[in-house]
Amino acid sequence: MAMTKKIQFHFPDDLLMEMDMEAKRKRISMAELVRRAVEKYLKISKGDSNRWKDDPLNKAIGSFDGEKGLSKKVDYYLYGIKK
């Protein structure tokens, strides 16, 4: 692990309790939980191309047949919105 620095943050009690329960569930420290959450947030905010790799819909890509250009009419087929 890279060199680390100790810093201090303040969390609301209810959020702190949820963090504590999640850290215990995952069997990691709260510091590790926060590091992972911040790392994930930064990847998403930077537009990381791997951010959708765990999305279940990502696995469905290419598994359905339909008319050509179906994705251009998604609003119509899902919501009945005509463009």
What tokens were used for 58?
């990502």
CA distances from 30 to 5, 34, 58, 64 (A): 15, 6, 30, 42
What tokens were used for 50?
């791997």
> What pLDDT does residue 50 have?
66
In a domain, 68, yes or no: no
In a domain, 16, yes or no: yes
Interval 12-53: pLDDT, tens: 999 999 999 999 999 999 999 999 999 988 887 777 666 567
CA dist., res. 18 & res. 10, Å (int): 14
pTM (predicted TM-score):
0.54
For 18, the domain range is 12-49
What amino acid is encoded at 41 in this protein?
Y
What tokens were used for 27?
């069997």
Based on the structure, what is the number of domains in the chain?
Answer: 1
